[in-house]
């Protein structure tokens, strides 16, 4: 059996086991989840090692670990086809780290544990399936599978105005996928030469498009479907002005769901923009990129400025995600190898550190019962472990060398600045200004809630992290520091995947 | 000497529209039921009249009107029992008062 | 023993200490953590000394080569642009190794006494190790990006040390300010790096600063002649890089963070905010000096003017401050500006490059005596539990060692021979005299002002008369862990000065702009002038502050307004506060946040509202009333029938 299918099968088996567990046997469910999550992590680590081995062994086909495509809907020629390149391996590794830490963080959930984890697993299936698929339709299918559980997870286990937020998030993302559907169908119907069998396979489409472009066929269809696809994924990637689901959604979601959502699900957007929109419609991508460079450039600065005056911890982090994810799309649109490598690195890095942030915010909120930074202060004294971790997360977010954020941002800035066009370079300089604003809002929070005198006497008695929280937080920090200290293997793995794609522009 | 077909048709049309009118405007369940009976009777008259004038040597029209009478009787029995139950519950038989089913 | 092979230890040991004390320190007894950190740093220092001495001895009298001891790839950005982490040994980095390891070791030892019994003692040592690691990594950087990496790391360790007393809101504010202001400047540094690397396709210092035939070929060939808005791209790039340096080195207008940074523990101020980190900007300009000198001389001129302005500006402020650490902070700004000026007026090669040598020499001497001053101030604060001058006076008998060493440092900074500061400052003034008379005049005045405010400080602390309310409790001399570093640094200050005076081991034999040693003659005509300025400053201070009299107040009443301005630091902080609070937060951030919540999100909500009300509007049709359905149905049937009949007719 193909190793990649394990990413879908393991969660399915876990779902089946949890479904069969009678009643509310919480500890058993948690054990199953942890074991399964660790298995996923092990599979992705094994995959990474084998991938690197194969590559260093000289295997240079575009996708590795491919299966023989399995037909599941013949009249439209839809297959279940899987395969990975360096980028997907990085994303799978990221996802499995976030899933396992998310499981540990979810130990705090006490209500309807079984249902919670069932939906949680469904979300994971969607995420993993999306990253391994090579068939456009299957990919879209998994995309939808990942989106729907969000509604219930926020609506049932969330806090605050959860119904409103869940509805808003789902509707906006569904609106995005409506665009996406049109885009995908547009690609499907236009990418094959006349008379040939139409296909959803990404690799074949890409070859067909290249052949069509070489034969001088009319490629103007791309100008319609590229923006649709890009916006469709851009909604999930929190691109300005389609980002407003993110603050509300994150604020209401339970901790682990915020982590998974900001850490992985938002990466689906970036990954899709790149794998579907840009890879399959390179001509339009080069032609129209300037529009999206402006939009994402705005996201970067705008998100950072908005974060400066928020008072809710989760809002701050959500706006910071808007800024950081904007940087991902921004770098992708620079369309050179270095910048795109940086973009993928930024996805991994942002995934890890935003998950860390949300985990910590969840833990702090669970203790203080407030997320308003004006009501907190001096927490460092009562919960040193959590607070030191928060400082580390903050430093990672503002790009401290030695942590992953720096590697990603610098690769983006230096890479993007190699663009020969002055317009692009000016936008890079604008983007650079975000590192200062990031410092402002991160330090504002750190100074306000962790340092300084105690705001609320009730906080004197709060306790520090318990074991499962420590496991989750420390493993995320470990991953962040590991990437930050030795980035070479990851960046080489990614850039070798980028190479195949960047040559088509 | 017999009346021409049109006379029967005029009567049945009048009867039908009286029934429709009653069905639409009356609020009392019994009256609505009676209106439905009128509509059914209008149909029966049509069946018989057409049978008599167009196909005098066949009996399908009469058969149908018999069917209608039987179905109408059964329907009335069911409807009346529903109405009685409604009355027990609501203490009235106003059609406006039984609107829970639409929610 | 071949010390050069041990070079990786210079970075590895402090980093390992950071990890060990940082991760497991809370389990150790504080004293053990401190001694562990100190002893391992002592090892590091030995290696640093060994490397520097072997390097200088091996190449004495020849051209000093740029040796790359190790260099490994850390991150590939493009084929050409590779960030590597390495160890570059050349005269200035060797000098810096000596400076950093000496001061840092002294601070490690001093802190054992000064920080004794503080909460977070282990944390302090962990961050101290991190800082030492970052600072050593910065000076040995083989490429400009490595420098940027460690540049950020020293920034963050500075943040962590300033906010050491994190329960004090003023400390937190100061830490934030320091980080954000320097970060703002770093952004320019980064943009400068981006521009340079875009054209030259390299980060490597060896390539970037290679001089052939009076030009820097890589920069000259790839960037020469390209202009942007009338300015040459080279000038823009190197000016942006200088701005980065100006942020770290607290040049006007980025100087505002340094005085506030004094909220941190005093030894940390001595190490970071006096001796090492703040001179990183000077070091950066010195590192890229050939590029400035040959390809952008106009930027050097600007640097000289900025330096001159900063030095006189902060010297004036220093005269009016009452917090002793702030006086020292402004004095630091002024002295670093001196170094910048020296670079700004310097030429390239031999005697022409006097300014360059003088700048590095002043960096060296200043690091020693300023660290000494700060540690002395620490001992004083330790004794009287206050930073304010009003709580001090007449301490010379109570703190004899502190008094003696403090006096040596004051004499050195005031430029009185034979202390080291005299020679370094004198060479700067000579270099300025030869290059630019205006700058010379300013620096000359600053020399007098420096002597005045330092001796104001000295007399005010050690003479003057006991404070009005007496001491809180009897001041006593600090423990030996604190006094030994004072004595060591004082000895260095005296010995290096005497060495220079007798012409042994002259600094210019080691450090020069073109890596060739040369001998410097002391220009006694100018030297006498500057000694005079120093003496005048000391005399004025003596006249005003030697004894407790009403004289200071009388003088102040004559110059009330200027005094107030200087006392309030010319309101620069207020301007910054106004800009951040009223412009950035109120005029930019809040409108954007409002715009986002109300316009962008409002539009989405409007869409939802529209859908909702459309369905509200049409749902009446489906009211579930069969009678109205029947009505519509019948009407429909009638209409259709009529239409078909009419059609038929």
Residue B101 lies in a domain: no
Helix runs in C266-296, H state only: 266-270, 280-287, 289-290
Nearest to C592 among A306, A406, A447 (CB): A306
Predicted pLDDT of residue C51: 92
Rounded to whole angstroms, the Cα distance separating A325 from A331 reads 10
Q: Exposed, middle or buried by CB within 10 Å (0-12, 13-18, 19+), for C404?
A: middle
List, in order, residues 6 or more apart from C640 with CB less than 8 Å away. Answer: none
Looking at per-residue pLDDT, the higher value among C247 and A505 belongs to: C247
Both structure tokens of A127: 């995420």
Residue B99 lies in a domain: no
The fraction of chain A above a pLDDT of 90, given in percent, is 28
Rounded to whole angstroms, the Cα distance separating C54 from C47 reads 10
Rounded to whole angstroms, the Cα distance separating A223 from A286 reads 10
Give residue-wise pLDDT tens across range C323-353: 889 999 999 999 999 899 999 998 887 778 8
Interchain CB contact of C615 with B (< 8 Å)? no
Asked whether the predicted pLDDT for residue B63 surpasses 70, the reply is: yes
Q: Is the peptide bond before A241 cis (omega within 30 degrees of 0)?
A: yes
Rounded to whole angstroms, the Cα distance separating C114 from C381 reads 10
Residue B21 lies in a domain: yes
Q: Where are the domains of chain A?
A: 3-502
> Position of tokens 């009505």?
C631
Strands of C63-113, DSSP E: 67-76, 82-89
Round the average pLDDT of chain B to a whole number and report it. Answer: 88
Number of Cβ pairs closer than 8 Å across A and C?
135
Q: C-alpha C394: how far from its chain's center?
A: 33
pLDDT band with cut points at 50, 70 and 90 for residue B101: low
CA nearest to A364, candidates A395, A388, A397: A388
CB C283 within 8 A of CB C204: no
- Continuous segment of H or E residues that includes residue A432: helix A422-432
Predicted pLDDT of residue A379: 85
Rounded to whole angstroms, the Cα distance separating A170 from A174 reads 6
Q: C-alpha A70: how far from its chain's center?
A: 27
List, in order, residues 6 or more apart from A85 with CB less than 8 Å away. Answer: A62, A63, A64, A497, A500
Give residue-wise pLDDT tens across range A161-178: 888 888 888 888 888 989
- Continuous segment of H or E residues that includes residue C138: helix C121-139
Number of Cβ pairs closer than 8 Å across B and C?
19
Looking at per-residue pLDDT, the higher value among C643 and C634 belongs to: C643
Q: A435 and C590 in contact by Cβ < 8 A?
A: no
pTM, to two decimals: 0.89
Both structure tokens of A356: 């860390």
- Those of residues 3-42 in B touching chain C at CB distance below 8 A are 20, 23-25, 32
Testing the interface with C: which of A451, A470, A496 to mutate, by most C Cβ within 10 A?
Answer: A451
Predicted pLDDT of residue C639: 95
Predicted pLDDT of residue B103: 57
Q: Is the peptide bond before B54 cis (omega within 30 degrees of 0)?
A: no
Strands C67-76 and A78-80: unpaired
- Continuous segment of H or E residues that includes residue C232: strand C231-232
Rounded to whole angstroms, the Cα distance separating A242 from A250 reads 15
Give residue-wise pLDDT tens across range A199-229: 888 888 888 888 888 888 788 888 889 999 9
Predicted pLDDT of residue B37: 92
Helix runs in A21-71, H state only: 26-56
Predicted pLDDT of residue A90: 92
Are chains C and B touching, using the cut-off of 8 Å on CB pairs and a minimum of 3 such pairs?
yes
Both structure tokens of C75: 């991150």
Q: Which domain holds residue B19?
A: 5-91
> Residue C622 phi/psi, 5° resolution?
-95, 65
CA nearest to A324, candidates A371, A274, A278, A266: A266
Chain B hits for C636, CB-CB cut-off 8 Å, are none
> Position of tokens 């604190």?
C482
For chain B, the distance separating the N- and C-terminal CA atoms, rounded to the nearest angstrom, is 58
Residue B96 lies in a domain: no
Q: Is the peptide bond before C253 cis (omega within 30 degrees of 0)?
A: yes
Rounded to whole angstroms, the Cα distance separating C552 from C546 reads 11
Predicted pLDDT of residue C16: 93
- Those of residues 70-109 in C touching chain A at CB distance below 8 A are 73-78, 81, 83
Rounded to whole angstroms, the Cα distance separating A492 from C605 reads 44
Residue B84 lies in a domain: yes
| Other CB atoms within 10 Å distance of the CB of residue C224 | 15
In total, chain A counts a number of residues equal to: 505
Q: C-alpha C53: how far from its chain's center?
A: 27
Asked whether the predicted pLDDT for residue B99 surpasses 80, the reply is: no
Chain C: give the shortest CA distance to residue A133, in Å: 28
Taking CA–CA distances from C624, the nearest residue in chain B reads: B102
Round the average pLDDT of chain C to a whole number and report it. Answer: 88
> Position of tokens 């963050």?
C156
Interchain CB contact of B98 with C (< 8 Å)? no
User: CA–CA distance from A389 to each of A350, A363, A460, B74 (Å)?
Assistant: 16, 11, 19, 78
Q: Exposed, middle or buried by CB within 10 Å (0-12, 13-18, 19+), for A75?
A: exposed
CB C490 within 8 A of CB C404: yes
**With helix as H, strand as E and coil as C, how does B7-33 read?**
HHHHHHHHHHHHHHHHHHHCCEHHHHH
Q: Exposed, middle or buried by CB within 10 Å (0-12, 13-18, 19+), for A16?
A: exposed
Nearest to B23 among C623, C625, C630 (CB): C630
Rounded to whole angstroms, the Cα distance separating A207 from A371 reads 51
Q: A417 and C169 in contact by Cβ < 8 A?
A: no
Tally the domains of chain B. 1
Give the Cα-Cα-Cα angle A264, A111, A37 (nearest 5 degrees): 40
pLDDT band with cut points at 50, 70 and 90 for residue C425: confident
Nearest to C183 among A243, A439, A491 (CB): A439
Are chains C and A touching, using the cut-off of 8 Å on CB pairs and a minimum of 3 such pairs?
yes
Q: C601 and A429 in contact by Cβ < 8 A?
A: no
pLDDT band with cut points at 50, 70 and 90 for residue C354: confident
Longest Cα separation, chain C? 131
Rounded to whole angstroms, the Cα distance separating C348 from C351 reads 8
Q: What is the DSSP annotation of A213-277?
A: HHTT---THHHHHHHHHHHHHHHHTT-TTS-THHHHHHHHS-HHHHHHIIIIIHHHHHHHIIIII
Interchain CB contact of B100 with C (< 8 Å)? no
Residue B102 lies in a domain: no
Taking CA–CA distances from C150, the nearest residue in chain A reads: A401
Q: B102 and C624 in contact by Cβ < 8 A?
A: yes
Nearest to B20 among C623, C625, C634 (CB): C634
| Other CB atoms within 10 Å distance of the CB of residue C237 | 27
Asked whether the predicted pLDDT for residue C507 surpasses 90, the reply is: no
List, in order, residues 6 or more apart from C521 with CB less than 8 Å away. Answer: none
Asked whether the predicted pLDDT for residue C499 surpasses 60, the reply is: yes
Round the average pLDDT of chain A to a whole number and report it. Answer: 88
**With helix as H, strand as E and coil as C, how does A160-176 read?**
CCHHHHHHHHHHHHHHH
Predicted pLDDT of residue B81: 94
- Continuous segment of H or E residues that includes residue C354: helix C354-384
Predicted pLDDT of residue C408: 92
List, in order, residues 6 or more apart from C205 with CB less than 8 Å away. Answer: C66, C88, C141, C142, C143, C144, C287, C288
Q: Where are the domains of chain C?
A: 346-567, 573-648
> Position of tokens 């009867």?
B15
Q: Which residues pair with C82 in a beta bridge?
A: C76
Are chains B and A touching, using the cut-off of 8 Å on CB pairs and a minimum of 3 such pairs?
no
The fraction of chain A above a pLDDT of 70, given in percent, is 100
Q: C627 and B95 in contact by Cβ < 8 A?
A: yes
User: CA–CA distance from C522 to each of A151, C426, C511 (Å)?
Assistant: 80, 8, 17
Predicted pLDDT of residue C592: 87
Summarize the confidence of residues A296-303 as an average pLDDT.
90
Residue B65 lies in a domain: yes
Asked whether the predicted pLDDT for residue C243 surpasses 90, the reply is: yes
Chain C hits for B23, CB-CB cut-off 8 Å, are 627, 630
User: CA–CA distance from C462 to each of A67, A80, C85, C406, C542 (Å)?
Assistant: 84, 85, 48, 10, 12
Residue B103 lies in a domain: no
Chain B: give the shortest CA distance to residue C610, in Å: 23
Rounded to whole angstroms, the Cα distance separating B86 from B80 reads 10
- Those of residues 179-238 in C touching chain A at CB distance below 8 A are 179-180, 183-184, 186-187, 190-191, 193-195, 197-198
């Amino acid at each position: 059996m193909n190793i990649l299918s394990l990413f879908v099968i393991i969660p399915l088996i876990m779902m089946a086991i949890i479904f069969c567990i009678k009643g509310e046997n919480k500890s058993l469910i948690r054990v199953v989840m942890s074991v399964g999550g660790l298995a996923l992590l092990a599979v992705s680590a094994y995959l990474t090692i084998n991938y690197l081995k194969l590559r260093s062994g000289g295997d240079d086909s575009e996708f590795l670990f491919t299966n023989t495509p399995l037909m599941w809907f013949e009249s439209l020629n839809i297959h279940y086809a899987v395969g990975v390149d360096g980028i997907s391996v990085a994303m799978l590794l990221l996802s499995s780290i976030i899933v396992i830490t998310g499981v540990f963080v979810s130990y705090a959930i006490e209500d309807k544990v079984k249902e919670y984890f069932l939906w949680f697993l469904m979300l994971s299936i969607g995420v993993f399936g999306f990253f391994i698929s090579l068939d456009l339709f299957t990919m879209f299918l998994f995309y939808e599978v990942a989106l729907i559980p969000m509604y219930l997870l926020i609506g049932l286990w969330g806090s605050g105005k959860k119904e409103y937020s869940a509805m808003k998030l789902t509707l906006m993302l569904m609106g995005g996928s409506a665009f996406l559907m049109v885009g995908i169908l547009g690609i499907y119907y236009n990418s094959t030469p006349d008379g040939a069998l139409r296909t959803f396979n990404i690799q074949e489409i890409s070859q067909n498009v290249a052949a069509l472009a070489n034969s001088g066929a009319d490629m103007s269809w791309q100008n319609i479907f590229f923006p649709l696809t890009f916006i469709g994924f851009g909604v999930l990637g929190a691109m300005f002005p389609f980002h407003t689901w993110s603050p509300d959604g994150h604020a209401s979601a339970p901790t682990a769901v915020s982590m998974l959502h900001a850490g992985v699900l938002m990466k689906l957007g970036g990954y899709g923009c790149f794998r579907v929109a840009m890879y399959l419609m390179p001509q339009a991508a080069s032609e129209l990129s300037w529009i999206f460079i402006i939009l994402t450039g705005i996201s970067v600065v705008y998100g950072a400025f908005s974060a400066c005056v928020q008072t809710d911890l989760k809002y701050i982090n959500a706006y910071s995600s808007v800024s950081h994810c904007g940087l991902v799309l921004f770098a992708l649109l620079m369309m050179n190898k270095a910048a795109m490598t940086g973009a993928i690195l930024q996805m991994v890095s942002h995934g890890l550190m935003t998950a860390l942030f949300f985990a910590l915010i969840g833990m702090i909120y669970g203790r203080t019962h407030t997320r308003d930074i004006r009501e907190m202060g001096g927490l460092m004294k009562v919960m040193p472990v959590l607070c030191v971790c928060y400082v580390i997360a903050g430093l990672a977010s503002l790009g401290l060398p030695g942590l992953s954020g720096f590697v990603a941002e610098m690769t983006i800035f230096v890479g993007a600045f190699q663009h020969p066009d002055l317009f692009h370079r000016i936008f890079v300089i604008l983007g650079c200004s975000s590192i200062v604003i990031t410092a402002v809002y991160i330090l504002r929070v750190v100074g306000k809630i962790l340092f300084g005198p105690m705001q609320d006497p009730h906080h004197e008695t709060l306790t520090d992290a318990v074991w499962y929280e420590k496991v989750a937080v420390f493993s995320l920090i470990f991953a962040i520091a590991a990437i930050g200290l030795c980035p070479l293997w990851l960046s080489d793995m990614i850039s070798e995947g980028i190479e195949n794609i960047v040559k088509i522009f | 000497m017999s009346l021409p077909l049109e006379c029967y048709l005029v009567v049945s049309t009048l009867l039908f529209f009286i029934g429709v009118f009653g069905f639409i405007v009356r609020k009392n369940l019994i009256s609505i039921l009676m209106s439905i009976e009128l509509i059914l009777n209008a149909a029966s008259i049509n069946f018989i009249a057409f049978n008599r004038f167009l196909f005098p040597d066949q009996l399908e029209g009469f058969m149908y009107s018999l069917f209608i009478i039987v179905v109408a009787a059964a329907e009335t029995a069911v409807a009346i029992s529903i109405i009685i139950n409604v009355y027990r519950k609501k203490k009235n038989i106003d059609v406006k008062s039984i609107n829970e089913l639409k929610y | 023993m071949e010390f050069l092979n041990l070079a990786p230890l210079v970075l590895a040991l402090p980093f390992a200490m950071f990890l060990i004390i940082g991760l497991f320190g809370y389990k150790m007894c504080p004293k053990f953590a401190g001694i562990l950190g100190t002893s391992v740093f002592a090892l590091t220092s030995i290696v640093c000394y060994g490397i520097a001495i072997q390097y200088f001895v091996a190449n004495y009298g020849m051209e000093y080569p740029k040796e790359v001891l190790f260099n490994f790839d850390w991150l590939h950005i493009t084929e050409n642009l590779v960030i590597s982490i390495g160890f570059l040994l050349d005269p200035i980095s060797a000098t810096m190794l000596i400076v950093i390891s000496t001061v840092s070791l002294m601070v490690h030892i001093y802190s054992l006494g000064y920080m004794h019994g503080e909460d977070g003692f282990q944390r302090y040592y962990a961050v101290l190790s991190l800082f030492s690691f970052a600072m050593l990594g910065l000076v040995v950087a083989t490429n400009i990006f490595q420098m940027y990496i460690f540049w950020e790391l020293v920034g963050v360790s500075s943040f962590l040390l300033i906010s050491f007393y994190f329960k004090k809101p003023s400390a937190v504010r100061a830490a934030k300010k320091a980080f954000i202001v320097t970060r703002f400047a770093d952004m320019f540094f980064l943009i400068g790096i981006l521009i340079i690397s875009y054209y030259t396709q390299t980060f490597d210092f060896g390539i970037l600063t290679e001089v052939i035939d009076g030009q820097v070929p890589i920069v000259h060939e790839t960037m020469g002649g390209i202009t942007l808005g009338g300015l040459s791209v080279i000038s823009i790039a190197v000016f942006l890089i200088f701005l980065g340096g100006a942020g770290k080195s607290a040049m006007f207008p980025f100087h505002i963070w340094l005085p506030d940074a004094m909220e941190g523990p005093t030894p940390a101020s001595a190490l970071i905010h006096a001796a090492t980190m703040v001179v990183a900007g000077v070091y950066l300009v010195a590192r890229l000096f050939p590029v400035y000198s040959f390809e952008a001389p106009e930027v050097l001129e600007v640097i000289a003017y900025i330096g001159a302005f900063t030095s006189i500006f902060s010297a004036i402020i220093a005269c009016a401050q009452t917090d002793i650490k702030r006086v020292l902070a402004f004095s630091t700004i002024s002295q670093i500006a001196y170094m910048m000026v020296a670079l700004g007026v310097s030429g390239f090669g031999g005697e022409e490059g006097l300014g360059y040598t003088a700048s590095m020499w002043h960096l060296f001497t200043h690091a020693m005596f300023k660290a000494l001053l700060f540690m002395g101030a620490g001992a004083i604060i330790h004794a009287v539990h206050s930073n304010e001058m009003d709580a001090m006076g007449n301490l010379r008998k109570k703190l004899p060692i502190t008094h003696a060493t403090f006096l040596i440092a004051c004499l050195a900074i005031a430029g009185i021979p034979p202390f080291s500061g005299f020679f370094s400052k004198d060479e700067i003034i000579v270099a300025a005299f030869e290059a630019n008379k205006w700058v010379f005049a300013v620096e000359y005045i600053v020399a007098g002002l420096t002597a005045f405010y330092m001796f104001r400080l000295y007399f005010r602390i050690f003479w003057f008369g006991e404070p009005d309310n007496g001491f809180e409790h009897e001041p006593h001399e600090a423990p030996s862990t604190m006094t030994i570093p004072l004595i060591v640094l004082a000895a260095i200050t005296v010995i290096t000065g005497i060495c220079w005076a007798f012409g042994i081991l002259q600094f210019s034999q080691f450090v020069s702009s073109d890596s060739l040693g040369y001998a410097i003659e002391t220009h006694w005509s100018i030297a006498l002038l500057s000694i005079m300025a120093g003496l005048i400053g000391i005399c004025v201070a003596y006249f005003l502050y030697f004894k407790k009299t009403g004289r200071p107040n009388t003088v102040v009443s004559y110059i009330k307004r200027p005094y107030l301005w200087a006392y309030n630091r010319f309101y620069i902080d207020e301007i910054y506060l106004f800009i951040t609070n009223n412009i950035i937060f109120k005029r930019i951030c809040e409108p954007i946040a409002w715009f986002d919540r109300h316009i962008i999100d409002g539009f989405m909500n409007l869409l939802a509202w529209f859908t909702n009300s459309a369905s509200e509007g049409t749902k009446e049709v489906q009211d579930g009333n069969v009678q109205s359905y029947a009505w519509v149905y019948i009407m429909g049937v009638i209409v259709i029938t009529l239409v078909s009949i009419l059609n038929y007719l």
